[in-house]
Chain A
Amino acid sequence: MNETAILCLIPALPLLGFLATGLFGKPLGRAVSGWIATLATAGSFALALALFIGHPDGFAAILDQRLFDWLPVAGLNLSFGLQLDPLALIMTLVVTGVGALIHLYSIGYMHDDEGAPRFFSYMNLFIFSMLLLVLADNYLVMFVGWEGVGLCSYLLIGFWFTRDDYNGAAVKAFVMNRIGDLGFLLGLFAMFATFGSLSFGTVFAKAAGMASGTPALTLITLLLFVGAMGKSAQIPLYTWLPDAMAGPTPVSALIHAATMVTAGIYMVIRSHVLYDLAPASLSFIAVIGLATAVWAGLIALTQRDIKKVLAYSTVSQLGYMFLALGVGAYSTGYFHVFTHAFFKALLFLGAGSVIHALSGEQDIRKMGGLRKKLPITYFTFLAGTLALSGIPPFAGFFSKDSILAAAFERSPILWAVGVFAAFLTAFYMGRLLVLVFHGPSRVDAKVHPHESPWTMTLPLILLAIGSLGAGFLGLPAVFGLPNLIAGFLAPSAGLYEGHLAAGTEWLLMGISVIVALSGFGFAIWKYGVKAELPGEDSTVKGLARWSLEKFRVDEFYDAVIVRPLFSLSSWLFGTANDRGVDGLVRGGAGLFGRLGSLVRRLQTGNTVFYLFAMTLGVIVIAAIAALG
């Protein structure tokens, strides 16, 4: 089978899976639907792997397949096509690989749920949309996938739709995404106005000839980044992600850790030709990313819900990735996406395992001492924690350190703040680990924790292996070993050459390790040795209180944006609609009614009056004839 056919099959399999489980889910049943979905995703992974194996040294040329002409309107000729290059391939592997594992995990997780077939159809639809996004050959197809993942996010967050607050969270996610999408769309318009095309090849070729700092390019890149802000939960459009934890845990793992939220980063890397020529946008991205990393990290320090901690952690790590992009280290940023996918998915699935074991408990104050009861979950979670905290030799260390090194090259201030954020990361993850798994058990007496079934623990183990090993694919130059990922991605993402002296780099690495270990250690001491517990909400004071209340950002949005919109809406519905529109209609009708009763007075019943009227009429007509 030739390669372009394989390329087209990759998104096709999940699409078929979506249709099968969506249309026939009920008769097929929960287990079968789950396996169909899992196999579809695994099939795509296998195909992508086949393509990868076929090109071990990377791609000489981009594999492009135009599928059909989509909008052949005058002046606008948009086609629908797929392309495969190193960046897309690696992204596909991550999406389908991690996706397949999460599908497998979900079979066990959702086996009690009535709506499981629907769940799997949505999940497959999501994989399809994500693949479309990644494999697109022009911005419009990417936008289709972009919207598709947003839709699936909404469907999956609000999966248990009988709860109003879950629905609210789903709507919030969708609306915030939408706001970002508006920016994206405006960016597309600007792009089309500037280049006359939305196809990657054409746009990048034309852009290469433009000067750096051209206002048009800055505008386009900024607008596209607004879309990324919404999709990848950066300041100010991040508040939907913690609320999105209302969805089932596999959803959080797949969409809000490993794949959808990384779409923004993928988009920026894909457009790196444009961003390289708009340094103002890049600086903006770096600042926003760093600010988000710190902001989210501060909030994560005091959260009590296990999933919320991980959610804020995701927001924070996404900030790191954008920081990398902002200083021009695209492949480095992507490396962090790659490693983060492994350990964040692992952490979420582990949290899911804990929640499943405790029959739904998510408050870490009611956990503790689960190390003995859930050994596999514990060890894999430990691996994920160490990876996220940036402790060598786990994956997170290499990727995070590369980012910090790139930041240092740009400005030591960026680096210092980044290191602070790394400290926070290590601290809150240590806190989480200790409070959930160590110490005396604070679990409710009625609950009997038990280890999860193999469908859930197998993915955990595989992801843990990934968290350990993935780091070695992107070794920094000082180790003397090749940086496999950077080399592979070079044709797509440009090659970032660090210019630090070897000594500086070792020094920075050392500082990172010390900071991570100290953060982790401080957490162990505070929550393990001193056995402090997060208190009741009312007892928390000062800065901690600010952090606990998420710096009241949601309340701010609510007061400034949501409430005025709602009152505007109800005013429009009530007053403007009732008095204005309806009033106009009723007034119109009333007018005719009144006219009618006015004219009715002519019907006096008095025959002679009628005769007079007729005579008058004839006189008028004759007069007109006479004068006419």
Chain B
Amino acid sequence: MISFAFYLLTGLLFVAALLVILSRSPMASVLWMVVAFFAITGHYVLLNAQFLVAVNLIVYAGAIMVLFVYTIMLLDLSKGVKHKRTLFVRLAGIVSGGLLLTVLIAAMRRSSETAVGDLAQVGQTSLVGLVKPLGIALFKDFLVPFELSSALFLAALVGAVALGKKGGSD
């Protein structure tokens, strides 16, 4: 049962990802991206990473993709932009991607200790993904990065606003 869910979600994820990069219009890419995020969220559910389920949906699918949509709205894309490159470049890109895939897998295969269990069992019994323990970890062990990230957001906020102003940056 779990395997079936896993493979289903995986297939969906790949299809969505490929369509993201292959779609002609950016709007379509965005929508397929949302689908991909849902698939990933599904994977998190399988892993019993409940906190991440929520955060992934809210932040990624909810906020970031909405940002993309706004941007597409604000841009005038009527000027015909050729979205594809020359055949050579496309080929080179795909070959690079494939090469990367191969090499990474080869590299990862060398690591042992991957047979550490079974998703079915993990998905039922994993405790680390629950909100409470994660919250405790965040506020105890990782407090400083957590607080620093608020500073990061402040910087990003200021930067985005400054850059976005009409009439040039400050």
Q: Are chains A and B touching in the complex at the 8 Å CB cutoff?
A: yes
Binding site for A on B (CB under 8 A): 85, 89, 92, 96, 99-100, 103-104, 106-107, 109-110
Q: Are A622 and B100 CB-contacts (below 8 A) given A608-B89, A612-B92?
A: yes
- Residues of A near B107 (CB, < 8 A) are 622-623, 625-626
Interface centre among B92, B99, B109 (most CB of A within 10 A): B99
Shortest Cβ gap from B85 to chain A (Å) = 8
CA–CA, A581 and B7, complex, Å: 72
CA–CA, A85 and B107, complex, Å: 93
Contact code string A590-628 (vs B, CB < 8 Å = 1, else 0): 000000000000000000100010011011001101100
- Residues of B near A626 (CB, < 8 A) are 103, 106-107, 109-110
CA–CA, A625 and B106, complex, Å: 9
CA–CA, A623 and B110, complex, Å: 12
Q: Which A residue's beta carbon lies closest to that of B99?
A: A619
CA–CA, A623 and B99, complex, Å: 10
CB pair B104–A622 under 8 Å, yes or no, is: yes
CA–CA, A323 and B126, complex, Å: 116
Shortest Cβ gap from B82 to chain A (Å) = 14
Contact code string A518-552 (vs B, CB < 8 Å = 1, else 0): 00000000000000000000000000000000000
13 A-B contacts (beta carbon < 8 Å): A615-B100, A616-B96, A618-B100, A619-B96, A619-B100, A619-B103, A622-B100, A622-B103, A622-B104, A623-B103, A623-B106, A625-B107, A626-B103
CB pair A615–B103 under 8 Å, yes or no, is: no
Chain A interface main SS type: helix
- Residues of A near B89 (CB, < 8 A) are 608
- Residues of A near B109 (CB, < 8 A) are 626
For the complex with contacts A619-B96, A625-B110, 4 further pairs of A-B residues with Cβ separation under 8 Å are: A612-B96, A615-B100, A619-B99, A626-B109
CA–CA, A230 and B96, complex, Å: 83
- Residues of B near A612 (CB, < 8 A) are 92, 96
CA–CA, A599 and B96, complex, Å: 23
* The 9 residue pairs across chains A and B that have the minimum distance between CB atoms: A626-B106, A626-B107, A622-B103, A625-B107, A622-B107, A615-B96, A623-B103, A622-B104, A619-B103
Shortest Cβ gap from B102 to chain A (Å) = 9
- Residues of B near A615 (CB, < 8 A) are 96, 100
CA–CA, A608 and B92, complex, Å: 11
CA–CA, A304 and B92, complex, Å: 98
CA–CA, A615 and B95, complex, Å: 11
- Residues of A near B103 (CB, < 8 A) are 619, 622-623, 626
CA–CA, A616 and B109, complex, Å: 20
- Residues of B near A608 (CB, < 8 A) are 85, 89
- Residues of A near B100 (CB, < 8 A) are 615, 618-619, 622
Q: Which A residue's beta carbon lies closest to that of B106?
A: A626
Q: Which A residue's beta carbon lies closest to that of B105?
A: A626
Shortest Cβ gap from A103 to chain B (Å) = 87
CA–CA, A616 and B89, complex, Å: 14
CA–CA, A616 and B85, complex, Å: 19
- Residues of A near B104 (CB, < 8 A) are 622
CA–CA, A625 and B107, complex, Å: 6
- Residues of B near A618 (CB, < 8 A) are 100
CA–CA, A212 and B106, complex, Å: 89
- Residues of B near A616 (CB, < 8 A) are 96
CA–CA, A154 and B106, complex, Å: 84
Within 8 A of B (CB), among A293-337: none
CA–CA, A608 and B104, complex, Å: 22
CA–CA, A612 and B106, complex, Å: 21
Q: Which B residue's beta carbon lies closest to that of A620?
A: B103
- Residues of B near A619 (CB, < 8 A) are 96, 99-100, 103
